[in-house]
Structure formats: C-alpha cells, structure tokens
Structure 1
Amino acid sequence: MSPTAARDVSVDRVGLLDFVRPRHRGILVTTRRDGAPQLSPVTMGVDTAGDIVVSTYPERAKTRNARRDPRASMCVLSDEFNGEWVQVDGTITVVDQPAAVEELVEYFRCISGEHPDWDEYREAMRRQEKVLLRLRIDRWGPISRGGFPARLLAPADEG
C-alpha cells in the first residue's frame, strides 16, 4: 500500500455539512468547572437546521458543563481511524424534557432513519429523561487527513 499525503481542504458551510452528515462518531469537548477540557466520545448527527445533535442524560458531565459554559468543540471522525476529520466550534443549547422528545425523534432519524414504533421510542426517551445537546456551528477548520508531509513522498505516491 502506498503512503498517503496529509491534506487539509477548506470548505464552505454546505461542504462542511455534506462532510459531517454521513458521519456519526465524534469527540465532544466541553469545559470543566476548573477550565480543563472534558472529552466525550459521542454518537452524533446533523439536524435539519444544520446543527450537530447528541442524545445524552442530564447528569452527564458534558450536559452539566454545557449548562455552565455553552462553548464547545466537536471533532467529527470518519469510520476508519485514518480517515478524514474536521473540528467544529460553537455553542451548545441543552434541550430538556418534555421539549426534547420530538427533537430526539429527529436525532434518531438523522442517524438511523425510521423507527419501527415511534410511540415506544418517545416513551423510552421520556422514561429515561433523555436530553438533547444542540451544537450550533460558529466556525470550523479544514477537513483534514493525516499522512506523510507531501515533501517526503515521491510525486507518484501522492494521494
């Protein structure tokens, strides 16, 4: 297998959302009370408003941190470890019950499609007291891929 060159591709918001929408693995970064970063691996999606959404519980650190300081970042990962990724920065809104129920339906749809029993799903979300974290994207970096610096690759090896 040929080595690949690292690369960064700048994209507009449409290109960013096209990249993020099919990816559902991310690392959410919130800020702890002492100012240190809190990293949380999450399953995430993009809703119809173009926000990144995460389902979680009210007592989780990421939720408590977002209530105290809404600034956050997400590293959106590809399924392959060496795949492309992007960092987005923005602000989180925590959507609590009962308003969260319908937003959790949209969250499920943007990741998995249709549920076989929406009434059952809604009841489970109420019973579990799930909340939705909505990350409004304010800025983003380039879509990046790791690899060798291009200067170390022969012209035929660049990918």
Structure 2
Amino acid sequence: MLMPLAAEPYTAPTDRDMLPSERREFVRTHRTCVFGYRRRNDGPSMSVVYYIPTDDDELLVSTMAGRGKARVVRRDGKVSLCVLDERWPFTYLQVYADATIDTDRALAVDVMMAVAGRMSGQPLGAEARPSVEVMCERENRVVIRCRPYSTFATPPRHLHRNDEVRELSHWVSGVVAWDAPDPS
C-alpha cells in the first residue's frame, strides 16, 4: 500500500549519526531524491524524481517505459536514491536498492496520483484520476520498484557565523543495512 505524504519530514539529528530506524523514517517522510544508475559509458546517470514509499518499505518511482531509467533497470537492477532533505541545514541519505520494472497500469496511475499529491502538497481528488489514466497510457508509464538493502547518511552541518568554523565538526558515517536494528 502506498504511504501518504507525511505531515512533517523527519529531521535528522545534528549531533550524531542517524540510527537505522531514523534512516528508514527519514526515507519514509521525504518525497524527492536523486535517482542514480550505472551507465555503460561515462559516469552514472542521475535525475531528480519524486518517489512514493510503501508500507512494506519499497520506494516507487514513475517513469516512461522508453526512458533510460526503465531501460537500465531492465538490464541492471542496481540503483541508488539520494533522498534529499527539504530543510536547512541540508542533509541527505543515500539508499542502495535492487530495482525491477512493474508494468501494471493501475499501479502506474496510483503512483502518478501520489506523485501529483507530493508535488502540490495535497492529495488529488478522485475526479483527477481519468486524466492521470490518459496521461499514463499516452506516456506508457511504468513503475520502478526499489527494494532498499542499505543506506549511507551524511550529517547536517551548518555555520551560522564565520567565527564558528573552528567549532564545526564532522563524523564518519557508514553503510548500514536497511533492516538493521538500532543498537541497544
């Protein structure tokens, strides 16, 4: 089941690394990410997209079947989603995922309805569904199902004044399994 847009995105702690449960909450309560995948040549491809979390921890991304994202996922199902915070001090959470393509048109419409709600900040009414169905058909929309397996976090750090630079600190984060428990 698609999760509704969170009333407030999770705010990452500024004095320590995020716990595994906080990383999952960060992903569930935000709405945009940089979607990245390997290319045969050149560097990785990256594009900013809206994503929809599900209650079983999948992250769904809508795209056209003919776009690079869909073509590459069919060839190589390893993707990354750099989930972006929308508040300052800015942080991000890198999510590594196995991805597959789902061609279920009803799911594509559901995801596009949810994306439109995230774009506008409020859910679309049922009266919009026929228009979204036509758009999904015309654009040959598919859904990329991303199943996270690990994350990497970066802490939000900020200078309020230039004389604080000597007090600025950073710490090392690490890759954490998506389903890792919080330490005791």
The two structures share one fold, judged by TM-score above 0.5:
yes
Choose which of 115, 118, 124 in structure 2 pairs with 1:115: 124
Say if 2:23 is the partner of 1:9.
no
What's the offset of the Cα at 1:110?
Answer: 6.9
- Could you tell which deviates more after superposition, 39-48 or 14-23? 14-23
With the length of structure 2 as denominator, give the TM-score of the two structures. 0.66
Distance 1:108 1:22, change over 3 A: farther
Distance 1:82 1:10, change over 3 A: closer
Q: Sequence identity of aligned pairs in percent?
A: 19
More strand by share: 1
Q: Does 1:72 align with 2:83?
A: no
Q: Which residue identity is paired with 1:18?
A: E
| Runs (5+) with no aligned partner, structure 2 | 1-13, 169-184
Match of 1:52 in 2: 59
Counting matched residue pairs gives 146
- 1:96-129 per-position Cα deviation (integer Å, ceiling 9, x unaligned): 2xx1422440453377264222233223212221
Query: Partner of 1:79: helix, strand, or coil?
Result: coil
Paired position in structure 2 for 1:33: 40
Partner of 1:21, secondary structure, is: helix
Structure 1 residues 111 and 138: alpha-carbon distance in aligned structure 2, compared to 1, 3 A threshold: farther
SS at 2:51's partner residue?
Answer: strand
Q: Return closer, same or farther for 1:44/1:123 CA change in 2, 3 Å cut-off.
A: same
Counterpart AA for 2:18: S
Q: Which has the higher contact order (CA 8 A, sep 6+)?
A: 1
Equivalent pair of 1:95/1:133 in contact (CA under 8 Å): yes
Unaligned 5+ residue runs, structure 1?
Answer: 1-5, 155-159
Question: 1:59 & 1:37 partners in 2: Cα distance?
Answer: 18
Q: Partner letter of residue 153 of structure 1?
A: E
Q: Deviations over 1:113-149 (max 9, x none)?
A: 642222332232122211111111000123521446x
CA RMSD of aligned residues (A): 2.9
Q: Does 1:101 align with 2:106?
A: yes
Contact 1:47 1:110 in 2 (8 A): no
How far apart, CA to CA, are the structure 2 residues paired with 1:17 and 1:107?
Answer: 23
SS in structure 2 opposite 1:20?
helix
Q: Give the TM-score taking structure 1 as reference length.
A: 0.75
Deviation, structure 1 residue 76: 0.3
Equivalent-residue separation in structure 2 for 1:104 and 1:23 (angstroms): 20
> Which moves more between the two structures, 111-120 or 29-38?
111-120
